[in-house]
Each structure stands twice: as structure tokens, then as C-alpha cells.
Structure 1
Amino acid sequence: MPEKVVKTEAEWRQRLSPEEYRVLREAGTERPGTGEYVDTKTTGVYRCRACGAELFRSDTKFDSHCGWPSFWSPLAADRVQLIEDRSLGMTRTEVRCARCDSHLGHVFEGEGYGTPTDQRFCINSVSLTLEPSEST
């Protein structure tokens, strides 16, 4: 993982749109089914919208029908931080970018999806940018 990205909240506000800031820096959530990558099948790498770190590959993306892009694994374990989240009266696991500490979404386990890890990284589209693979 490249060097940690550290910015003041004022610098993040300048760099990000209000919706990006709300989700990435304030741990907000976009409305289900509204994100640009929910149904995307494009081959490529998904990067953190705040700092550009490579986080997920399209070959780990799957249709979970939950309203957000879902992945069964990050690109590498060191690309994300998993943090216990006790907000909203429940215990969940928050997923953050390990490089800039931006909120990406949550990860869930044991839901019975036919994936190699039995995990669903439920990630906000607004937290990501997709870098399509070059055609050969």
C-alpha cells in the first residue's frame, strides 16, 4: 500500500463534491439502487474516489441485489480497514480505505451467497471510481 494520505477536512471539502464528502468523510450512505456502479459489468479496477488507491477488481464483483455494488473480496487485505460499527442500534463492520481512512461501506458475512469468501463488501458507488481495463 502506498504512503498514507492525510488531508485536513477543509482540504477534503475542496477536493470532493458535497455528496462525496458526506459519504466518504462523514460515513454517509447513498440511497440503494441509485449508484452508478450497481449494475456495471465493465472489467477493471475500482479505486477510492478520495485518494485513488486500488481497492477492488471487477472479477470479485457480484450481483447481490442489495442496491449497492457488492464484492466478495478486496484487492488485498491491506487495502481496506475493517472497523466495528455500533451505530443505528446494531453491530456491523465498516469498510474504510486503508490509505486515506475514507468510508466505503460495510462488509457482511454468512448470508449464503455462493462466493468464495461468503462475504459481501457492500460499497457505495460514490466512494469509488472505475478504471476500465484496456481492450486487447
Structure 2
Amino acid sequence: MKSSMFKSLSLGLLTTAVMSLSVTHAAKQQDENIEVTPIQKVTQQELAAIYVLSEVCPSLVKDDAQFSRGYSKLAQEYLPREKDAVSALSKLSKEKKFKSILAEARTDAKKAGDSKNKEICQELTTYNN
């Protein structure tokens, strides 16, 4: 993950928006018995960037409950097959094979700085609306 976390998350949020539109369109198409293309695979780097938000954002946002709801929604969109995506991300963060990817995401978040991180975190406080 060479680019900053901000770029990764922006791309991720854009991807999420596109996927949401695709899912809505696909649901309409299913009523017409048209084959639906599967959703694009999520990368470990994207999951790491999302998890790092759970570490960085609580100290940067005013409304922790709003952030938690937005974060939960984002996590669920990236891990739709998981019953509790937030718990699944937490469990993934403890896996040995994920440690280096997570470390890189943490480094990217530090490089981005509080200002950029706060901007992303604030967006998540309204993401559930």
C-alpha cells in the first residue's frame, strides 16, 4: 500500500458507492431474471485501512456513537457475508499473516496526519445517514 491511507479510503469509499449502485441495479435486474455479476473482491489492504480507522478516529471525532455507526456500516459493506463485520475485522487484525499489512496501514495513517485522518473520520460520522 504505497499511497496514503486517505487515497486508499477515498478509493474504497468510491468503490463502495459504485458497488451500492451496482447492487441496487442488480436487485432490479434479478426481478427480470437477468444474470448478475459478482461483486469485486476486497483486498487485505482495504480491510487494513478500514480497521485502522477504528484505532485512529475515536480520538478525532466528537460523536463516537455516530462514528461507530458509520464505521460499522462501512465494515459491513466490505464484508457483507459476515454477521458482525466489525468483530470480523478485529479478529483479522490479530492474525499473524495480516500483521504486516496492518502495520503498513498504520504507517500510512501516521503519514497522512491528524488533519487528513480527521476529515475521513468526520465523513464516517455521517456515512450511516
When normalised by structure 2's length, the TM-score is 0.24
Determine which structure has the larger strand proportion and give its number: 1
Question: Which of the two has greater helix per residue?
Answer: 2
Instruction: Report the TM-score when normalising by structure 1.
Output: 0.23
Higher relative contact order (CA 8 A, sep 6+): 2
